[in-house]
Amino acid sequence: MHIMLKKAYLRKCLNTRYFSRHHATRAWERSIDMVKCVVLAGSSESSKEIALISSTSEYVTNKAFLEINGKPMIRYIISALEESEYVKEIVVVGPVDSLNNCLSNFTGTVVEEHESGKVLDNVIKGIQKINATENILVVTSDIPLITSKAIDDFVRSCNNKFDLFYPVIPKEQNNLRFPGVERTYVNLIDGNFTGGNIFYLNPQKIRPCYESVDRLIGQRKNPFRLAMNFGVGFLTQFLLGKLSLNQAEQKISQILNIKVKVIVSTHPELGIDIDKISDLKLAQEIISDEACV
């Protein structure tokens, strides 16, 4: 019976459009569920400044299409996801025509971005397209240094016991891997951390807390404003550096009415998003160096 079930499982995997033999075998061996992924590639006002130093000298209004060493940034993210052991389906949300032009060999799905331009609205559009009922992966399109190993390690840290998993990277890890890189850090009892740009979430639990999540996303680059959402006591502890990761988890879970889990990651690549010119230069240098190895 066990052998028959295993064969049936593998047949099902191999009939899935985005599944390979390698993926199916590794998923079975590790007993880790394969995941669907939504990639956020919506337009961004912040990309206008960065576009001025694009290697193509072309003016673009979406960071996903900035060229790094002759390759649109989003293709680095897609390549890492396609190489992942656990990603079985990819949906990209953004300007369809432009995405189709730069992702000619992409076998996933492209969905037009929401007219509101809000991150969460684009997440929901992606969820609707893949008809997600189980937990999914959400990745932004401005982290070109991301690797399949970083993705796989994050997925392995997640499960179905929580509704939202979010990675944070210790400052020491960032400085070790990318000396001198500028990031926004939060000072906690456990150390100094910066946030990642990948999420593992339960799509059924996100919609009921839409407004709260949308507000937190909008304030994610400003730790002080973010902390103000959680009350005077929380803010005071935050300012005094007496807040722990566990306390932050509990408070965010309480405010959103979902179960939140913070994952301390050893992969700084998850948090190096391209928000300014110095970020783009760093990515260009690192990718150039790696290409020469």
User: What is the gyration radius of the CA atoms in the chain, in angstroms?
Assistant: 19
Domain boundaries, the chain: 32-292
229 burial level (CB within 10 Å; 0-12, 13-18, 19+): middle
* pLDDT per residue as tens digits for the range 273-285: 988 888 888 899 9
Q: Are 241 and 189 in contact (CB under 8 A)?
A: yes
Reply yes or no on whether the pLDDT at 26 is more than 60: no
* pLDDT per residue as tens digits for the range 34-57: 999 999 998 764 455 555 555 544
Reply yes or no on whether the pLDDT at 1 is more than 80: no
Domain 32-292 has CATH 3.90.550.10: yes
* pLDDT per residue as tens digits for the range 153-210: 999 999 989 999 999 999 999 999 998 788 889 999 999 999 999 999 999 888 888 7
Pairing state of beta strands 186-188 and 191-195?
Answer: antiparallel
Reply yes or no on whether the pLDDT at 4 is more than 50: no
Around Cβ 242, how many Cβ atoms within 10 Å?
Answer: 12
Share above pLDDT 90 across residues of the chain, in percent, rounded to a whole number: 47
**What is the distance of C-alpha 216 from the center of its chain?**
16
